[in-house]
């Protein structure tokens, strides 16, 4: 046991004292917070400052109303042909030409948008929403409903999402915030397991190629060496992760206050509720700017952040230990990193599959059978379970997943150690899966 502790100490301090570790520990949270701050800022600014000028050439006699301009889009009806409007678009002050042909209200076809530049998806949705509203109003008018009655039909609905806890108390909840946290947790888990697992593999390869391993094996058992290396790098990862949490939280708080004007966000949020003339598409675009920030801040109070972080740390450590044992076995079987490619894919594939399925299936149906089994299989549970956490996971499922993952870690360590003890002293021979299986079956 003392020998394992010495190896752990060596692996830990040899890495945390490196300048690269110190620089990346402090630089990474700054980069993450800066990137997300800039994304949020430019997304909000883009929605706020977007203003498109659209010229409308209408040959439609069915629609009695005209498209209404708002703060994001301006409609100008032209008394000229479509060909003339398209010809004059580059020297005019409008950006696009919208063509409305004669069509049936039940089957609107032939509508086209022309422009000297490619129209974005948000503009397309906004114009489609405005036209759909015109058609809807026209149908209601033809049914004998007056304009005043039409105006009364427009009502804004704001649904407060609440979750009933096991204790019976109501908690603020938000699908948007839960999805945001789930995506962030899944990405971090995938990155950390890959990053530190590969560090174990590279460390084993370096010691093997430098022949230092031959000296170390003379005083410690291969299993002790492998466990010391795995646990030592795990402690390095845990130290860096805890520092990242503290620094990212502090920097993100500053970034949000700098890049986001809360008063303007409130104005946009309020305007989407009090202006009935805005279309559904316009409201959705405006709400998108204010929604995520306010949504997340509002619903964080309903989430047990302490529990989520604690469980994340457990699955990070257990998942890392599970995969790092396999990476250590790969490192012991090869003489250089070039030879690792054929062995890394079978190890990476379950992790990549768990990441892809978790972010699609789990977030759409976090309580379904697929999500459950992804949370139980040790190859996918580190990512699947942390993705499900913000939605709420029964304690018995959480405990069962933890137990299975720990048993899986013990199994992979035992399997990897049998390969490691032989492979660590093998040189100059190209390793295959068949050869590794032989090493596994060798008796002590």
Annotate the chain with three-state secondary structure.
Answer: CHHHHHHHHHHHHHHHCCHHHHHHHHHHHHHHHHHHHHHHHHHHHHHHHCCEEEEEEECCCCCCCCCCCCCCEEEEECCCCHHHHHHCHHHCCCCEEEEECCCECCECCCCEEEECCCCCHHHHHHHHHHHHHHHHHHHHHHCCCCHHHHHHHCCCCCCCCEEECCCCCEEECCHHHHHHHHHHHHHHHHHHHHHHHHHHHHHHHHHHHCCHHHHHHCCCCHHHHHHHHHHHHHHHHHHHHHHHHHHHHHHHHHHHHHHCCHHHHHHHHHHHHHCCCCCHHHHHHHHHHHHHHHHHHHHHCCCCHHHHHHHHHHHHHHHHHHHHHHHHHHHHHCCCHHHHHHHHHHHHHHHHHHHHHHHHHHHHCCCCHHHHHHHHCCCCHHHHHHHHHHHCCCHHHHHHHHHHHHHHHHHHHHHHHHHHHHHCCCCCCCCCHHHHHHHHHCCC
Q: Which residue has the higher pLDDT, 97 or 174?
A: 97
Query: Model confidence at 270, in pLDDT bands (50, 70, 90)?
Result: very low
Query: Is a pLDDT exceeding 60 seen at residue 287?
Result: no
Model confidence over 87-125: pLDDT tens digits? 888 777 788 888 888 888 888 888 888 877 777 777 888
What's the rounded mean pLDDT across residues 185-197?
82
CATH 3.30.1240.10 for domain 50-153, yes or no, is no
What is the structure's pLDDT at 279?
43
Query: Model confidence at 158, in pLDDT bands (50, 70, 90)?
Result: low
Of the candidate ranges 288-302, 367-381, 416-430, the one whose mean pLDDT is the lowest: 288-302
What's the rounded mean pLDDT across residues 301-325?
81
> Residue ranges of the domains in the chain?
2-41+173-441, 50-153
What's the rounded mean pLDDT across residues 9-34?
81
Query: Model confidence at 442, in pLDDT bands (50, 70, 90)?
Result: confident
Query: Model confidence at 271, in pLDDT bands (50, 70, 90)?
Result: very low
Query: Model confidence at 1, in pLDDT bands (50, 70, 90)?
Result: low
What is the structure's pLDDT at 292?
47
Q: Which residue has the higher pLDDT, 271 or 362?
A: 362
Q: pTM of the predicted model, to two decimals? A: 0.62
Q: Which of 77-86, 212-221, 250-259 has the highest mean pLDDT?
A: 77-86
What's the rounded mean pLDDT across residues 364-379?
84
What is the structure's pLDDT at 207?
74
Query: Model confidence at 164, in pLDDT bands (50, 70, 90)?
Result: low
What is the structure's pLDDT at 40?
65
Query: Nearest-CA neighbor of 113 among 62, 70, 46, 67?
Result: 67
What's the rounded mean pLDDT across residues 270-297?
45
Query: Model confidence at 402, in pLDDT bands (50, 70, 90)?
Result: very high
Query: Is a pLDDT exceeding 70 seen at residue 15?
Result: yes
Q: Which residue has the higher pLDDT, 142 or 408?
A: 408
Of the candidate ranges 244-258, 281-295, 358-372, 385-399, the one whose mean pLDDT is the lowest: 281-295
Model confidence over 24-80: pLDDT tens digits? 888 877 777 677 667 666 665 555 556 778 888 888 887 777 888 887 788 888 888
What's the rounded mean pLDDT across residues 358-380?
81
Query: Model confidence at 156, in pLDDT bands (50, 70, 90)?
Result: low
What's the rounded mean pLDDT across residues 178-193?
78
């Amino acid at each position: 046991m003392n020998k394992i502790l010495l190896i752990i100490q060596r692996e830990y301090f040899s890495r945390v004292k490196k300048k690269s570790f110190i620089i990346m520990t402090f630089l990474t949270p700054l980069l993450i917070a800066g990137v997300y701050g800039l994304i949020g800022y430019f997304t909000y600014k883009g929605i706020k400052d977007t203003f498109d000028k659209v010229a409308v050439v209408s040959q439609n006699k069915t629609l009695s109303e005209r498209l209404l301009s708002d703060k994001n889009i301006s409609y100008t009806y032209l008394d000229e042909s479509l060909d003339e409007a398209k010809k004059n678009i580059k020297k005019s002050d409008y950006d696009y030409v919208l063509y409305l042909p004669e069509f049936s209200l039940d089957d609107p076809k032939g509508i086209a948008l022309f422009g000297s530049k490619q129209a974005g998806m948000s503009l397309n949705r906004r114009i489609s929403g405005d036209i759909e509203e015109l058609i809807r109003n026209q149908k209601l008018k033809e049914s004998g409903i007056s304009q005043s009655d039409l105006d009364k039909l427009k009502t804004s609905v704001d649904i407060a999402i609440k979750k009933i806890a096991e204790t019976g108390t109501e908690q603020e909840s938000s699908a948007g915030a839960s999805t945001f946290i789930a995506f962030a947790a899944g990405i971090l888990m995938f990155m950390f397991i890959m990053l530190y697992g590969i560090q174990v593999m590279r460390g084993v390869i370096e010691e093997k190629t430098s022949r230092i391993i031959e000296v170390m094996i003379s005083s410690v058992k291969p299993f002790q060496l492998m466990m010391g290396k795995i646990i030592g790098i795990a402690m390095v990862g845990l130290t860096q992760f805890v520092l990242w949490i503290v620094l990212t939280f502090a920097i993100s708080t500053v970034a949000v206050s700098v890049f986001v004007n809360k008063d303007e966000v409130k104005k946009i949020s309020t305007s989407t509720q009090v202006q009935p003339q805005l279309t559904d598409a316009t409201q959705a675009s405006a709400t998108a700017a204010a929604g995520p920030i306010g949504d997340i801040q509002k619903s964080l109070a309903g989430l047990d952040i302490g529990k989520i972080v604690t469980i994340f740390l457990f699955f990070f450590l257990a998942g890392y230990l599970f995969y790092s044992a396999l990476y250590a076995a790969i490192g012991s079987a090869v003489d250089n990193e070039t030879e690792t490619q054929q062995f890394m894919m079978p190890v990476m594939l379950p992790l990549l599959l768990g990441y892809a399925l978790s972010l699609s299936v789990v977030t759409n149906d976090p309580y379904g059978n697929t999500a459950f089994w992804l949370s139980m299989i040790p190859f996918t549970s580190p990512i699947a379970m942390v993705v499900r956490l913000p939605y709420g996971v029964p304690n018995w499922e959480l405990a069962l997943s933890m137990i299975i993952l720990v048993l899986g870690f013990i199994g992979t360590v035992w399997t990897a150690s049998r390969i490691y003890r032989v492979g660590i002293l093998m040189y100059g021979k190209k390793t295959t899966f068949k050869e590794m299986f032989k090493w596994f079956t060798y008796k002590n």
